[in-house]
Structure formats: structure tokens, C-alpha cells
Amino acid sequence: MIVGIDLAGSEKRPTGFCILHDLNSKCYILYTDREILENVQKVKPKVIAIDAPLSLPKARRSLEEKCNIHLRKCDKELINMKIKFFPITLGPMRMLTKRGIRLRRILEKKGFKVIEVYPGAAQDIWKIPRKQKGLEKLRRGLMRLGVKGDISKNDITGDELDAITSALVGKAYLEGKYLAIGDPEEGLIILPKTNFTCGKEKACTHTFSLKRES
């Protein structure tokens, strides 16, 4: 079992939650941290893939500290790959970062393996549209990768589709088919290294370059 979470910054906004077994998806919308923790505890997944920043830049002590340090090494590598994202310390991302770090700490204390993922980057690598281009296009793209189950339900949301994407990256992580970008002492983002079709590995044809900083 793998859990993918498209975390919202506020408990008042919907969080996408996906349980992935093989390529069969079960999706929910949750709201509170308590709901998330209770559902994780029921599943006891091998890995929890969370779409949210789970760490701060190494040189930054807190989000409350006023400074010009906004990017981690993994964020800089996303820039090198020409993948669009929002800096983790600016605007509404501050609330999401706080919540992500808090949940990661709680889940790790409970013995769960937690990884940071970015569905938008995975979708770019897999060459499928992000949800901003249309939910149906994203759904079809994920189905082409072999996802079954709740992905076919009529009322599926963009949050649930990103949670499915997060869980798929968790699957790639467990199978050793991933890239870990960033500094391990600061925080890593896990990206898929390969593509999936009905559970079978296929070479990924993306042209992103992973330029490492000296």
C-alpha cells in the first residue's frame, strides 16, 4: 500500500488522499490533520508521498525569520530543469510549508516513511497535462500509465488526481525508479525516473537535465 497526499495549506480546504495498491486507486477528500493521520493509520502504507514542502532551506531557521533565503537546493534544481513551482516561503506557500513540516514530523515519529513529491514535476516528466490544462486531460494521462479504480469516478477532483500522481511517484520510489534531487541534509524532492504502462517499466523520454551545483 502507498498513500499519496495532495496537502492543502489550511484544514478548511480540501486535501486529496489516495491509497494505491498495485495500480488500483482509492481516493478521498479529507480536511483536518486528524482525518489524515487516522486514515494513514488504517492503511499502514509502506511510504507516504506528500505534495508539500517538508523542510526549510538549510540557512533559514524558521518561516518567521525575515531574510532573503527562499530556495532549497532541490528547488534550485527544479529551476535548472525548467519546472515551474512556487517558492516555499512566499505567500500562501508559507502556511502549506508549516503544515507539511508538522505532519511529516508526526508521521515519522509514528514510524512511517515520508517523502516529499511534486505532482506537477512528475506530470511534466511523464508528458501528461497538469490539472490547470483540464482535469479530463490529466485523468486520461494517468489512466494511460495504468491507473485504475477511483480514477474513473465521475466526480473526481483535481486534488484527488494530484494525490494519485503523488502515490505513483511513491510507487516509483519503492521500486527504485526515482531521482532524489537536493541536499539530503536539507531536504529532497523525489521525482520519477521512469514511466509506467499497466505496471510495466518503459523508458522515459523526457529531456530535462539535472545540473548539479558545485
pLDDT digits (tens, 9 = 90+) for 101-142: 999 999 999 999 999 999 999 999 999 999 989 999 999 999
Angle 133-165-74 from CA coordinates, rounded to 5°: 95
Supply the pTM of this predicted model.
Answer: 0.88
Domains and CATH numbers, the chain: 2-202 (3.30.420)
Instruction: Tell the residue number behind the cell numbers 482525518, with chain if given.
Output: 35
pLDDT digits (tens, 9 = 90+) for 169-181: 999 999 999 999 9
65 contact partners, CB below 8 Å, separation of at least 6: none
For 69-98, give the DSSP string: ----HHHHHHHHTT-----TTSTTHHHHHH
90 contact partners, CB below 8 Å, separation of at least 6: 70
